[in-house]
């Protein structure tokens, strides 16, 4: 048996000719890091500007930055030059005025081509696809790794004994999909909803826009952040290994 776990550009699923349902994603993301200062606030969620959105993740001594761009526009940004890109970041996040010079070259900026898709059928004779190979997730919430681990746990629980006995069928492999397909669909629907109702309005804006009311609510009442944290961190269906 083979497991296809080779990511969103999976060669395995392509060679197996498995049908992919593409849900669409209007954005790409640029990842880079900027150093953190003692004077920085303890926590940022991100910054919203005119057609700009930058998420900040606290990594202790630096900020991991996820800059949302319109899909396919990275080559244009490279063509305009690094100085223009630094100025673009500062229009969104002026607090980094003394730090954008840490972006020394384009090698410091990594492009994530965003996909939201899933296989209609996750398995065929002797093959099971897992993780992004079975269902590519957008970077919203960083849930891709969560779902991949949950699929692996479900597969271990459902298939371990059958694989050990070398006595399994494609129907057995598809039990993993039957177990994990609903939480995958729910998570992807949430991501598509956020793309359409949050990120796209920012991308289309011609003047500064206020963050949507749920984000403002989370900023005002930090205790409420436990709700999306639990939903994102644990997902819609938790998996447990049996002893």
Q: So what's the pLDDT on residue 53?
A: 84
pTM, 2 dp: 0.77
> Is residue 171 over pLDDT 90?
yes
Q: So what's the pLDDT on residue 241?
A: 77
In contact, 1 and 168? CB cutoff 8 Å: yes
Q: Tell me the pLDDT tens digit for each residue of 102-136.
A: 999 999 999 988 889 999 999 999 999 999 999 99
Taking the C-alpha atoms of residue 91 and residue 31, their distance in angstroms, rounded to an integer, is 17
Q: So what's the pLDDT on residue 81?
A: 94
Q: Tell me the pLDDT tens digit for each residue of 175-194.
A: 999 999 999 999 998 888 87
Q: Tell me the pLDDT tens digit for each residue of 72-106.
A: 899 999 999 999 999 999 988 888 888 899 999 99
CA 67 to chain centre: 13
Q: So what's the pLDDT on residue 176?
A: 95
Burial label for 207, CB within 10 Å (0-12, 13-18, 19+), is: exposed
Mean of the per-residue pLDDT values of the chain = 86
């Amino acid at each position: 048996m083979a497991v296809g776990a080779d990511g969103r550009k999976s060669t395995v699923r392509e060679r197996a000719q498995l049908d992919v349902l593409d849900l669409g994603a209007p954005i790409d993301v640029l990842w880079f890091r900027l150093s953190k200062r003692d004077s920085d606030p303890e926590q940022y969620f991100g910054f919203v500007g005119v057609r700009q959105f930058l998420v900040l993740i606290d990594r202790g001594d630096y900020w991991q930055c996820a800059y949302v761009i319109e899909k396919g526009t990275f080559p244009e940004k490279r063509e305009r030059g690094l100085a223009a890109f630094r100025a673009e970041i500062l229009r969104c996040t002026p607090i980094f005025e003394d730090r954008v010079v840490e972006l020394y070259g384009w090698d410091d900026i990594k492009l994530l081509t965003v996909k939201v898709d899933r296989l209609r059928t996750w398995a065929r004779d002797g093959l099971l696809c897992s993780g992004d190979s079975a269902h590519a997730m957008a970077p919203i919430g960083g849930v891709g790794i969560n779902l991949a681990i949950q699929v692996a746990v479900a597969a271990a629980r459902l298939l371990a004994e059958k694989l050990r006995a070398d006595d399994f069928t494609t129907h057995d492999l598809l039990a993993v999909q039957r177990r994990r397909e609903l939480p995958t669909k729910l998570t992807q629907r949430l991501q598509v909803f956020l793309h359409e109702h949050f990120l796209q309005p920012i991308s289309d804006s011609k003047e500064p826009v206020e963050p949507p009311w749920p984000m403002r609510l989370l900023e005002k009442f930090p205790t409420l952040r436990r709700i999306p944290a639990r939903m994102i961190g644990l997902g819609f269906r938790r998996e447990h290994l049996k002893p």
